[in-house]
Structure 1
């Protein structure tokens, strides 16, 4: 018998798709693929209409984002490739000198591994596979993480909604070692008890870590933390403020926040289960006053079609918060909706200030923590917006 020759599958993309790849963006949509074959999670060669090499990509015909460029170099995307990308991401985190033992170790496309997220919580790692190609190669990912990070356990959180876009099942499983249900971690001197299997995202909103720290350093007087979840803004503020009230509509979130307040020995924190819109409206009507308010709502615009309603919701909560703040008061207002762009959010804040009749100074415009890096050619990696505002 003759020697078997391996034939690599090639995906041919349109002129628009090729231009997008050459611009540095890793996503090619199904509508820009002229020719392709393979199974979900295959790695394919990508070429333009003239057959010129563009890179190698994760392929999934079930997904609207059918190609995710893994490399623009003519190299194999194999176990060694995964190891080198994870090692490079880990080395970057080591360079950041973060005051925390919980942080993002690898941030998907921003670290060159499309669809892979890895978060560290003390001695444990939590992995999220958001692409079929990563899902099929989780064994490689786990081996690299074990060698590079020596964790006590690695947990795969495959229970987030975006996996259905890749045709992936929802499941949570231990990839190696042993992983407890919860673990205590430190963020800028504040302790948090994290539910690794059931907490939102992978357990904490790690991208807000530096914003929580800055808010805590400026806190004073009476503080209101709305959409508080586990208390990120409020518990940092409680070390300086006279009193802090955490508000969330979720009882499990408030239970977690109570436990975190107890862990830190904070006795100036109260907890209110309420709809944020109703509470802000009622407090403003009652003439209440605060020295600091944090607004960190969930993404109001998960899809572009939600944008108009989201803009109205963001304006409503910011208008009410501005009315509640005393002169000299501080507002930390956040949006994690990618579809709400920075200029949209700034205009929302301008309109809210005008309608509230308040003169507002922008003290600082902030984004996500540096362990969630932004790549200039991938706008989607810049998603978190945080405005630190002062009422004059």
Structure 2
């Protein structure tokens, strides 16, 4: 096994079990490991620290896996980590109202770069690191053994794979090709999931509890669901008796799937309008037309993929929320989210304060949204806490 040696004084984060070693912390590599190869990480005194995946192309040069020198990172190790992660989600699927969730959440489940989502009897995986790419045959075999899914589909189409020297892929790995719409249940609501063509792995199961919580405020209300995708917040609001819901998304496929989901749940008689449009453009149109709403949901894509983008992202979040605030009736509710791991909750609250000032509004934070337990946060890896949200009352 090839040794990678840290510079003097760079051991602290490793000893605290943080799983990332940046290229700038490395003193030397005793050999030429291939991308994704498992290496031995040593301190500046050649003392053992951990085993991890190496990648010369990535800014994160080593992704740590195991800190016990006597534990081999072999096929059995990967199988055990997959089994442990899946077992930790069993309780979510036991009540019969939900058959979709995240089974493996990357570093938080000690498998850096692996995402596995369950959609009824189908699985979607995303592979974001060269090390996991190398281990994928073992991982797929273990998932098949544990769950016997009808299909396992590879949705590794993220542009970040390029940083690991990997090409994007979107293909069937095992089983039979999933249908165009896989039917799943979440909180008792039926969704059609387009695994092959949908965003990310096909569905955003990280909002499961937030959708249900927000819906409790929507009975008899006029609701605007922005970045609605396939209708998570829309469907929950309709079920809870919202007077009307308007859904806005720029994706024609998302709007088409949303409307099919409304039919699947027998909500076709509800007052619902779907608009295919850029959200910022549509919000300005609503403002110019004098439209007002009682509840607005703003669930945008990731504006800050890294800390270097945080200032620009903060301005984008501020402008978006300023527009949302201007469209609310006095005392209305704004449910606003950020899925940018680089933006912590305190920064997000400050951005909201700036948005309120620019909008000439008073704002109360009445509830904090967060990611559910199938997206756990590892104590030594706070970066895993990416989803945050605020329910704001606006005057």
Common topology (TM > 0.5): yes
CA contact (8 A) 1:124 1:179 kept: no
Residue 282 of structure 1 deviates from its aligned partner by: 2.7
Aligned equivalent of 1:22, options 12, 15, 22:
15
Count matched residues.
385
Corresponding residue for residue 10 of structure 1: 3
Residue 284 of structure 1 deviates from its aligned partner by: 2.4
Q: Structure 1, residues 275-330: CA drift from partner, whole Å, max 9, x if none?
A: 21122223223332211100001112223343222211111121121121123321
Aligned equivalent of 2:72, options 56, 71, 76:
76
Aligned equivalent of 2:155, options 151, 154, 157:
157
Aligned equivalent of 1:168, options 144, 149, 166:
166
Corresponding residue SS for 2:198: coil
2:318 is equivalent to residue 315 of structure 1: yes
Q: Structure 1, residues 342-365: CA drift from partner, whole Å, max 9, x if none?
A: 222100111222332322221111
Corresponding residue SS for 2:372: coil
2:122 is equivalent to residue 124 of structure 1: yes
Aligned equivalent of 2:332, options 326, 329, 338:
329
Corresponding residue SS for 2:56: coil
Residue 176 of structure 1 deviates from its aligned partner by: 1.9
2:55 is equivalent to residue 52 of structure 1: no
Corresponding residue for residue 102 of structure 2: 104
Corresponding residue for residue 87 of structure 2: 91
Corresponding residue for residue 177 of structure 2: 179
Corresponding residue for residue 256 of structure 1: 257
Corresponding residue SS for 1:95: helix
Give the Cα separation in 1 of the matches to 2:210 and 2:9.
38
2:302 is equivalent to residue 299 of structure 1: yes
Corresponding residue SS for 1:218: coil
Give the Cα separation in 2 of the matches to 1:197 and 1:251.
15
Corresponding residue for residue 3 of structure 1: none
Residue 179 of structure 1 deviates from its aligned partner by: 3.1
Corresponding residue SS for 1:171: coil
2:229 is equivalent to residue 226 of structure 1: no
2:194 is equivalent to residue 195 of structure 1: yes
Larger mean CA deviation between 257-266 and 296-305 belongs to 296-305
2:109 is equivalent to residue 114 of structure 1: no
Corresponding residue SS for 1:265: coil
**Where do 5+ consecutive residues of structure 1 fail to align?**
1-7
Corresponding residue for residue 43 of structure 1: 38
Give the Cα separation in 1 of the matches to 2:175 and 2:285.
50
Residue 339 of structure 1 deviates from its aligned partner by: 2.0
Corresponding residue SS for 2:88: helix
Give the Cα separation in 2 of the matches to 1:176 and 1:185.
20
Larger mean CA deviation between 300-309 and 327-336 belongs to 300-309
Corresponding residue for residue 343 of structure 2: 340
CA contact (8 A) 1:334 1:386 kept: yes
Aligned equivalent of 1:368, options 371, 377, 385:
371
Residue 16 of structure 1 deviates from its aligned partner by: 4.6
Larger mean CA deviation between 116-125 and 149-158 belongs to 149-158
Question: What do you get for the CA RMSD once the two structures are aligned?
Answer: 1.6
Corresponding residue for residue 217 of structure 1: 216
Larger mean CA deviation between 297-306 and 119-128 belongs to 297-306
**Where do 5+ consecutive residues of structure 2 fail to align?**
none
Larger mean CA deviation between 276-285 and 254-263 belongs to 276-285
Larger mean CA deviation between 316-325 and 119-128 belongs to 316-325
Residue 217 of structure 1 deviates from its aligned partner by: 2.1
Corresponding residue SS for 2:273: strand
Give the Cα separation in 1 of the matches to 2:369 and 2:246.
24
Corresponding residue SS for 2:300: coil
CA contact (8 A) 1:24 1:377 kept: yes
Residue 95 of structure 1 deviates from its aligned partner by: 3.5
Corresponding residue SS for 2:335: strand
